[in-house]
């Protein structure tokens, strides 16, 4: 079974993937798989080609992993206010920060996941430790993920009054 661990950059995918790998799960990076199978051209991952090649029982981590037609997509989410702080602290260019914050606000990866995966779950990582996020992923993998079904996270209603400030470059 192919499982996608996906989400906007900065939500905790890589950290969660490392914990799951340490717990014995077969976790692969979408970028490393793309390199291994020669699915990168001009710096862009050919997800269509990669989706035809990748098979087996594994968790594929990366913000493109949900495009590989997985059986299950687990979308990690983060409050846009906190996400903006995280991306800025990583030294990201302001345009990229705002692009990813906007993508998180309007559910881009969740919507794409619903198109490509048979089952979709979402986890709000905003106030969870990395271990708690990994525990939530394990709940889903063990068939106990009913509380992570999509539709409960609504960033627009949560940050609505701050959207203009959030999308300003100087903040």
- Nearest Cα to Cα of residue 96 among 86, 106, 110, 107: 86
Q: Specify whether the CB–CB gap between 17 and 69 falls below 8 A.
A: no
Report phi then psi at 100, rounded to 5.
-75, -35
Mean pLDDT of the chain: 93
pLDDT digits (tens, 9 = 90+) for 88-136: 999 999 999 999 999 999 999 999 999 999 999 999 999 999 999 999 9
pLDDT of 156 reads 83
Edge-first strand listing for the sheet containing 2-7: 27-29, 58-61, 2-7, 72-77, 119-124
For the chain, list the domains and their CATH numbers.
Answer: 2-166 (3.40.50.300)
DSSP alpha helix (H) spans, the chain: 13-22, 30-36, 47-53, 80-89, 94-105, 108-116, 130-141, 155-159, 163-166
pLDDT-derived band at 31, boundaries 50, 70, 90:
very high
The pLDDT, as a whole number, for residue 119 is: 97
Q: Are 139 and 92 in contact (CB under 8 A)?
A: no
């Amino acid at each position: 079974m192919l499982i996608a661990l996906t989400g906007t950059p900065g939500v905790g995918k890589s950290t969660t993937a490392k914990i799951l790998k340490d717990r014995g799960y077969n976790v692969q990076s979408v970028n490393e798989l793309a390199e291994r199978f020669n699915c990168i051209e001009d710096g862009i991952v050919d997800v269509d080609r990669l989706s035809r090649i990748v098979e087996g029982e594994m968790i594929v981590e990366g913000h493109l992993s949900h495009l590989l037609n997985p059986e299950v997509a687990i979308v990690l989410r983060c409050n846009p206010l906190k996400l903006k702080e995280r991306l800025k602290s990583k030294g990201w260019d302001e345009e990229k920060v705002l692009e990813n914050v906007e993508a998180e606000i309007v559910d881009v990866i969740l919507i794409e996941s619903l198109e490509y995966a048979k089952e979709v779950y979402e986890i709000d990582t905003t106030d969870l430790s990395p271990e708690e996020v990994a525990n939530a992923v394990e709940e889903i993998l063990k068939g106990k993920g009913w509380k992570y079904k999509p539709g409960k996270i609504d960033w627009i209603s949560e940050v609505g009054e701050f959207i203009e400030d959030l999308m300003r470059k100087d903040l």
